[in-house]
């Protein structure tokens, strides 16, 4: 059969499930840092917050959401995915309404907590967990499609949100987000998830086993060295990516770039992330997700280091392009590697802890780097250290991947 036709047949035959996964990750956009940060000046003005106050509130809400995710993540193993997705969308939309109507700083904290839990955490977790469970032989390709939702959101939502604020105000924009979540995302997921999927054709029917031919539970994974060996690398892209976006105003001031000039870098970031997930998907299908382990941090490390190489504004696009490429690699790896090592029967529980660690790193990143900036250590100088961290971990992951590949190949 013609390979191109075969690929088209795969995408067409599985459009229902691939579309559901993509909608979950796209829907997470309303709870991501880049979207919430668009409203920072309004929140700070309403409640009389300083930059430090807002950063502390945001970090506290994000850390709390990470803790909740550890408890809620295993629902992806035990509850109907259709029911869970609709419940998460409903909660997400309710939080958006609360954000539009809130007046007190306590409510702001609770609403940011809800946005981070339902948006950055649960809805993306549902989509990526479901995709990894639904597909085995073509898991990489399927995860690439699902991960596109993140890039699409990064590419289009900031501009649309700014336009909406100009037309209906910031409160009206949050109400609009709530309506879109319920009517568009909720309605579509209700239809698309009406049928579940089992791996078919040449794929194993039912849950796929992981290393040593086993279905690993979360306690079993936590007792094994492999889980902890992966954690330093898993948290790094989230840490560095959030730092870059959160401190863009600082970069603007240090470099003398306007935020409008810097905005041109976001489509570059999104495009590179989307290209990277497809490259990573093909690598995963052909050679396994563990092949990505020594590679996925290299673009991120290079990107953050390049920030200090030039004061010309074009370097910002290069920086975001590299970090976007690393983000795409990271999305593909995180979608597939847990299923490859630990199997799919308890994937929601195993993956939830990893996602909570990424959420945790996105909370502490701006706080740690902000304190260092206050101490006189510029983000450019910090970037050199981050690059060395990424490159050093990549070298370590060559050995980790080799040992893990042996475990995965070992029969029960």
pLDDT in tens, 106-126: 999 999 999 999 998 889 888
Residue-wise pLDDT for 10-38, tens only, equals: 778 788 889 999 999 999 999 988 888 88
Lowest mean pLDDT among 134-138, 235-239, 341-345: 134-138
DSSP assignment of 203-268 equals SPSSSPP-GGG----HHHHHTSHHHHHHHHHHHHHHHHHHHHHHTHHHHHHHHT--HHHHHTHHHH
Give the C-alpha separation, 46 to 121, whole Å.
Answer: 27
What are the pLDDT digits (tens) for 169-185? 999 999 999 999 999 99
CA angle 52–53–57, rounded 5-degree value: 115
**Residues 271-319: tens digit of each pLDDT:** 898 899 889 888 888 888 899 999 999 999 999 999 988 889 899 999 9
Residue-wise pLDDT for 199-251, tens only, equals: 544 444 556 777 777 888 888 888 999 889 998 988 899 899 888 887 777 78
**Long-range contacts of residues 195-204, Cβ cutoff 8 Å, at least 24 apart:** 195/16, 196/81, 197/14, 197/16, 197/17, 197/134, 198/134, 199/134, 199/135, 199/136, 199/137, 201/137, 202/137, 203/135, 203/136, 203/137, 204/136
Q: What is the mean pLDDT of residues 190-205?
A: 68
d(CA 366, CA 58): 10
**Dihedral sign (CA 125, 338, 273, 61):** positive
Place 264 in a pLDDT band, splitting at 50, 70 and 90: confident
pLDDT bin (cut points 50, 70, 90) of residue 253 is confident
In this structure, the number of other CB atoms found within 10 A of the CB of residue 403 comes to: 13
The secondary structure of residue 289, as a DSSP letter, is G
Distance CA 117, CA 65 (A): 5
Contact 115, 38 (CB under 8 A): no
Report the distance separating Cα 324 and Cα 311, nearest Å.
20
Two tokens, residue 270 = 């999104």
- Collapsing DSSP to helix, strand or coil, 165 comes out as helix
User: pTM here?
Assistant: 0.78
Mean pLDDT of 361-383: 84
186 DSSP assignment: I
């Amino acid at each position: 059969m013609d390979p191109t036709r075969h690929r088209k047949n795969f995408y067409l035959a599985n459009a229902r499930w691939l579309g559901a996964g993509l909608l979950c990750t796209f829907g997470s956009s309303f709870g991501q840092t880049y979207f919430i940060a668009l409203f920072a000046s309004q929140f700070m003005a309403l409640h009389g917050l300083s930059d430090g106050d807002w950063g502390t509130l945001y970090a506290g809400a994000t850390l709390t959401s990470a803790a909740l995710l550890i408890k809620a993540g295993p629902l992806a193993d035990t509850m109907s995915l259709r029911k869970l997705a609709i419940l998460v969308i409903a909660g997400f939309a309710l939080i958006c309404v609360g954000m539009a109507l809130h007046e007190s700083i306590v409510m702001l904290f609770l609403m940011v907590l809800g946005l981070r839990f339902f948006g950055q955490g649960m809805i993306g977790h549902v989509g990526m967990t479901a995709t990894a469970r639904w597909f085995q032989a073509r898991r990489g390709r399927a995860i690439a499609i699902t991960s596109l939702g993140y890039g699409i959101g990064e590419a289009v939502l900031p501009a649309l949100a700014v336009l909406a604020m100009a037309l209906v105000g910031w409160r009206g924009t949050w109400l609009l987000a709530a309506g879109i979540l319920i009517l568009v995302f909720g309605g579509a997921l209700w239809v698309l998830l009406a049928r579940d999927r089992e791996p078919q054709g040449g794929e194993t029917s039912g849950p796929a086993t992981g290393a040593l031919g086993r279905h690993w539970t979360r306690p079993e994974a936590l007792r094994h060295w492999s889980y902890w060996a992966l954690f330093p690398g898993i948290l790094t892209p989230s840490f560095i990516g959030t730092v870059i976006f959160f401190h863009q105003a600082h970069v603007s001031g240090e470099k003398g770039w306007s935020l409008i000039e810097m905005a041109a870098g976001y489509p570059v970031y999104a495009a590179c992330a989307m290209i990277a997930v497809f490259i990573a998907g093909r690598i995963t299908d052909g050679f396994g997700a563990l092949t990505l382990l020594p590679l996925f941090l290299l673009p991120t490390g290079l990107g953050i280091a390049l920030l200090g190489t030039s004061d010309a504004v074009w370097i910002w696009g290069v920086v975001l392009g590299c970090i976007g490429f690393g983000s795409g690699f990271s999305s593909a790896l995180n979608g597939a590697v847990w299923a490859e090592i630990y199997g799919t029967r308890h994937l929601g529980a195993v993956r939830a802890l990893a996602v909570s660690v990424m959420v945790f790193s996105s909370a502490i990143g701006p706080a740690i780097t902000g304190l260092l900036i206050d101490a006189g250590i510029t983000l450019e100088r910090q970037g050199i250290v981050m690059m060395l961290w990424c490159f050093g971990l990549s070298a370590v992951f060559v050995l980790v991947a080799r040992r893990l590949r042996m475990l995965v190949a070992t029969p029960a």
